Amino acid sequence: MPISYDHERGLFTIDTDRSTYQMMVDGYGYLMHLYYGAKSSGSMDWLLSFVDRGLSANPYDAGTDRTYSLDFLPQEFPVQGTGDHRSPMLILRDSNGTFGCDLRFRRYEIQKGKYALKGLPAVYADAPDDAETLRIVLGNDRTGVEVELLYGVLPHLDIITRSSVITNGGKGRITVEKLGSACLDFVAGDFDVITFHGRHTLEMQKERMRTPHGTLMLGSRRGYSSHQYNPFFILADHGTTETAGRCWSMQFVYSGGFRAEIEHDQYDQTRIQMGMADEKFSYPLDPGESLTAPEVIMSFSRNGLQDLSHDLHKCIREHVCRGKYRDVPRTVIINSWEACYFRFTGDKLLDLAQKAKDLGMEMLVLDDGWFGDRRDDYRALGDWYANEEKLGMTLGELVKGVNDIGLKFGIWIEPEMISEDSDLYREHPDWAMAIPNDKPVLGRNQLVLDFSRKEVVDTIYEQICAVLDQGNIEYMKWDCNRSINDVYSYTASDQGKVMYDYVLGLYDMLGRLNDRYPDMLIEGCSGGGGRFDCGMLYYTPQIWASDNSDAIDRLVIQYGLSYGYPACTVGAHVSACPNHQTGRVTPIMTRTIVALSGTFGYELDPDKIPEEEKQGIRKGIDLYKKYERLVHNGLYYRLSDAGTDRYTAWEFASEDGTEALVLMVVPENHGNAPTIYVTPRGLTSGAEYKDEETGTVYSADALMDAGFPTPVVDDDRESFMFHLVRL
């Protein structure tokens, strides 16, 4: 049993295959966090240290015992107002406007299977025996408030999930000012924190730093994750590497604003926590009402960052992503955007489809510009009907024409947005997020629809379904190209609810589309990687990683994503050169190698590329088809430090060790440069491997110890591919 409870000692223990998580109900009814680390046995209550800390406050129950203070004891769910002056998980205001809520243990329940969350995405298990759930209820007598702590355990993946649900069991209204999902207290340790910052067109830039005294806060105030900070971070021992050392991760299953904190306190203890952003959040609950915090995925590795990533990849690939495309390698796409932007007709799209078919591509995706009076990005968002005058045909006729050529058809939408110059805005101006009697903040010339309102979501859903029902549309790209600034809903009972309820509306629409069109692939996008998170992956099993398709910049972006997300979720395409974002010229094979480490596709106009590149496209599609299963399901290994080392190398290895694909790009060449040796991992010890191209046979152990020399680099941005097959 992964979860056990020792009644005599009040001890909860969660065991996975390689880790143990332990907490204890103490004599005062507080839930203490004891341990999360390598698999262990027995009680770890000896980790608690009781010392008179001077000005640290003591609970009234402790009487004259000044050695007991929540100001320094490790806790599972720290609450504001209990004498703990570190960052809390819960800030509550009661009907009198008073802050504070002293929570004590009430009851628990252990269940087979994995819990689900009302209205929110969550990790799931395919069968009840694959997971267990622990429910612990804490309560407060004065307010009648109860908080249910949820723990989901996937023992074979070393994954523990956490969430919390607060219920107003009292007689008056309460207001939740902050509600966290997961917290870990470490009583000792010398830690680094690894975060992933960025901006539009340069997301997921890894940064590693020593945890300083004080609080390091990262998050998003923009209504969405995650251009600036991804909702994922790692805490690691200072000496942890890819293959050695302890590390812990937290990853948010939520697509709205978030707040993650790493606090190193006065006694050199460290608290990490994750939850919803508390800015613009103030959620009232009347008697009987509940509020559910989104889920956090946690994992631990004592063998370095590599194992941590492998567990997270498998969890997301098999227990977050759902539906037909969870296990299916993706279709090779050509997207119309960089081929023609807004300048197209139906005939031009059919011509593009024919040329794409001739090159071996499998799907045409019609990007922005097909609906309403959409001539540019100043108008028509919200008018979701095909512009037949512009197309010169109906959408159904266009879809059929593309299908007749032999390609599948996909379409782009941006359903959360509205243009002031649109029929929908003229009819329903109050459906846009805007503060009354004030000019709204514009982003990309558009406003945000109020998805916290059911009638808004229902209307957009019906419009999009009417579009999708016109033909055999097998793919939809869901875009979202601005942040939420003016937080105001004309129908909300309290504006502090709007940001949370907006995300529930988003998930409601995505869930209905998944149910109605189970054979359609939905790709998430938010100006690229502005909403690359596990919440979206629950509904959209791939996400466009960045609006920057430059292969050299993508090396670092996709490297950052690899720490927490599997390659099969990473939207990546080969684009034209000079690149439309950076102006850089990169060989077609280098662009191909980078893109095939994701979902693979193309962003270009076949009429504007030389014949040599067309041959490169045909070869690239053949390579993708050959290795798509290995990339989709294989173990991912980081073999260098992208952006720091002279080269970037990575590997996909089959779990059974029968084959490995090693990929490498050298961004810059230098005179008389040393030979580059690449050291693969994940091979079968004692076996031999053959390089499929050169025929060279290697000892697996020597390869994983010394590496192999790579060819001489002749030019900048050169790339290499090595397919190793076990003999």
Residues 368 and 291 placed together within one structural domain of the fold: no
Burial class (CB in 10 A: 0-12, 13-18, 19+), 569: buried
- Say how far apart CA 635 and CA 567 lie, in whole Å: 10
Residues 138 and 278 placed together within one structural domain of the fold: yes
Of all residues in the chain, the percent with pLDDT exceeding 90 is: 97
Domain membership flag for residue 175: yes
pLDDT of residue 370 exceeding 90, the answer is yes
Q: Which residues on neighbouring strands pair with residue 155, listed in sequence order?
A: none
Residues 176 and 257 placed together within one structural domain of the fold: yes
Mean pLDDT of 306-324: 97
Domain membership flag for residue 497: no
Which of 412, 421, 417, 402 is CA-nearest to residue 368? 412
Residues 188 and 279 placed together within one structural domain of the fold: yes
- Say how far apart CA 329 and CA 241 lie, in whole Å: 31
Q: What is the pTM of this model?
A: 0.97
Of all residues in the chain, the percent with pLDDT exceeding 70 is: 100
Mean pLDDT of 504-508: 98
Residues 113 and 77 placed together within one structural domain of the fold: yes
pLDDT of residue 268 exceeding 90, the answer is yes
Residue 533 is among the residues annotated as catalytic for this protein: yes
Give residue 226's pLDDT. 85
Give residue 355's pLDDT. 97
Give residue 236's pLDDT. 98
Q: What is the extent of the structural domain holding 254?
A: 3-319
pLDDT tens-digit map of 2-56: 999 999 999 999 999 999 999 999 999 999 999 999 999 999 999 999 999 989 9
Q: Which residues on neighbouring strands pair with residue 148, listed in sequence order?
A: 137, 165
CATH of the domain at 105: 2.70.98.60
Please answer whether residues 718 and 669 qualify as being in contact, where contact means their C-beta atoms are separated by less than 8 angstroms. Answer: yes
pLDDT tens-digit map of 178-236: 999 999 999 999 999 999 999 999 999 999 999 999 999 999 999 999 899 999 999 99
CA 526 to chain centre: 12
Mean pLDDT of 349-371: 97
Tell me how many domains the chain contains. Answer: 3
Q: Which amino acid is at 455?
A: E
Mean pLDDT of 454-462: 98
Give residue 715's pLDDT. 85
Mean pLDDT of 596-612: 95
Catalytic residue selected from 613, 628, 659, 718 = 613
- Say how far apart CA 181 and CA 164 lie, in whole Å: 6
Burial class (CB in 10 A: 0-12, 13-18, 19+), 76: buried
Residue 613 is among the residues annotated as catalytic for this protein: yes
Q: Residue 332 half-sphere exposure, CB side, CA atoms within 13 Å?
A: 25
Catalytic residue selected from 261, 474, 533, 547 = 533
> If pLDDT is split at 50, 70 and 90, which confidence band does 153 have?
very high
Residues 308 and 411 placed together within one structural domain of the fold: no
In angstroms, what CA-CA distances link 542 with 330, 636, 661? 9, 17, 22
- Say how far apart CA 565 and CA 249 lie, in whole Å: 12
Residues 314 and 341 placed together within one structural domain of the fold: no
> If pLDDT is split at 50, 70 and 90, which confidence band does 325 have?
very high
In angstroms, what CA-CA distances link 453 with 121, 269, 458, 675? 19, 43, 9, 61
- Say how far apart CA 193 and CA 271 lie, in whole Å: 12
Query: Token match 């790579």: residue?
Result: 710
Residues 95 and 157 placed together within one structural domain of the fold: yes
Please answer whether residues 72 and 265 qualify as being in contact, where contact means their C-beta atoms are separated by less than 8 angstroms. Answer: yes
Residues 112 and 188 placed together within one structural domain of the fold: yes
Please answer whether residues 222 and 198 qualify as being in contact, where contact means their C-beta atoms are separated by less than 8 angstroms. Answer: no
Domain membership flag for residue 431: no
Query: Token match 């049993």: residue?
Result: 1
> If pLDDT is split at 50, 70 and 90, which confidence band does 693 have?
very high
Copy the structure tokens of residue 192: 């680094």
Pairing mode, strands 363-366 and 408-413: parallel
Q: Show which of 319, 348, 363 is a domain's final residue.
A: 319
C-beta atoms surrounding 439 within 10 Å: 8
> If pLDDT is split at 50, 70 and 90, which confidence band does 64 have?
very high
Sorted by sequence, the CB contacts under 8 Å of residue 137 that are 6+ apart come out as 105, 106, 107, 108, 146, 147, 148, 149
Residues 314 and 331 placed together within one structural domain of the fold: no
Give residue 126's pLDDT. 92
Residues 518 and 565 placed together within one structural domain of the fold: yes
Q: Show which of 285, 319, 353 is a domain's final residue.
A: 319
Give residue 670's pLDDT. 86
pLDDT tens-digit map of 420-432: 999 999 999 999 9
Mean pLDDT of 670-699: 95
pLDDT tens-digit map of 637-662: 999 999 888 999 999 999 999 999 99
Q: H/E element holding 274?
A: strand 270-276
Residues 533 and 547 placed together within one structural domain of the fold: yes
Q: H/E element holding 33?
A: strand 31-38
Domain membership flag for residue 495: no
Mean pLDDT of 250-270: 97
| Helix, strand, or coil (residue 80) | coil
- Say how far apart CA 507 and CA 609 lie, in whole Å: 40
Domain membership flag for residue 425: no
Give residue 202's pLDDT. 97
pLDDT of residue 714 exceeding 90, the answer is no
Query: Please, what is the average pLDDT of the chain?
Result: 96
Domain membership flag for residue 496: no
Domain membership flag for residue 609: yes
Give residue 713's pLDDT. 87
Copy the structure tokens of residue 370: 């097909």
Give residue 138's pLDDT. 98
Please answer whether residues 374 and 437 qualify as being in contact, where contact means their C-beta atoms are separated by less than 8 angstroms. Answer: no
